[in-house]
Structure formats: structure tokens, C-alpha cells
Amino acid sequence: MKIAIYPGSFDPVTLGHLDVIERAASLFDRLIVVVMHNQTKTPMFTLEERQDFLRRITSHLDNVEIDAFSGLLADYADKRGACTIVKGLRAVSDFEYEFQMALANRKLNPDLDTAFLMTSAKYMYLSSSIVKDIAAHGGSISGFVSPQIEDEVLKRMRKED
């Protein structure tokens, strides 16, 4: 069984993330979407909320599992028996950092590959930061996040004001 991991902070999960999840799920027997702790970021949504959002928007995908982890991704991949890390790329500027991470992960776990998936063109501009900024300024985030979580993202943004 070919198991892949799609890591991210998903704060919040966007339609761009979902695009990568759906395409990666079609390429692997099992896809584990893992909410990672990023020391450089202070998330707006709790770990549990982000996992819940992901579970809800991927419920139509039988081979997708949602998990969370804090530590080295290479260790997590080894523990879960994954052969591939999936990384979504929006632009060439994403590639340099992701390439370095892929090399580091390969050094830590020589059996681990990284697959880069370009996001669909209609989501190339989209990021969680853009969603939060638009929502914080009263803009519509329809078309940026799944309708299943849109109201909750907006409510959180209103609380933060």
C-alpha cells in the first residue's frame, strides 16, 4: 500500500489545500493529511478545530485520514509507513524552501520521497493568510474556503476584532 502524507498548518484549510488533497488522494492508496505544529506561526484556529475542518471537507474521500503531529516530519512518515510527502506549490517562490525541506527529509529518512503538486491555476494566489486578511477586513471568503467551514471562519475573524 502506497501511503503519502500531506503536511501543513491549514489555518484555515482553503480550497487550494482541498484541490491538492483530492488530487493526491487519487494518486496514493492512503493519504494522511497531518496538521503540523509550526513554531514560527501562531495559529488562529486550535489544532482540534483545524482537524475538524479537514475531516468535514474531506469526508467524501474514503482513503484520506486526518491526524496531527509535532516533531520531525521524517520521523512521523517512518512511524506511519509513508513513502511520500506531498507538497503543494503555488509559485516558483514556494519551490526553493520546499526543495530544501525535501532534501532534509530525505537525509533524515532515505526511503522518503517528496512529490510536488502544482495547485490548480484558479487557486495559485490563495493562501490561509489571504483568507484571514480578507475576512478580517469584512470581505467575502466565498470561493476561498469550503462552504462547510465558511461561517465558522468568519465568526472567528469577528471575535478577533
To the query of whether residue 90 is one of the catalytic residues in this protein, the response is yes
Q: Is 17 a catalytic residue?
A: yes
Q: Which of 30, 90, 106, 156 is catalytic?
A: 90
Those residues whose C-beta lies under 8 Å from the C-beta of residue 119, and which sit 6 or more positions away, are 16, 19, 20, 88, 89, 90, 126
DSSP element (H, E) containing 120? none
45 vs 43: CA distance, rounded Å: 5
Q: Is 41 a catalytic residue?
A: yes
Catalytic residue among 41, 55, 122, 158: 41
Per-residue b/e over 10-21, b at no fewer than 16 CB within 10 Å?
Answer: bbbbbbbbbbbb
Active site residue 37: no
Q: Which three cell numbers stand for residue 11?
A: 489555518
Q: SS3 for 93?
A: helix
Just list the catalytic residues.
17, 41, 90, 128
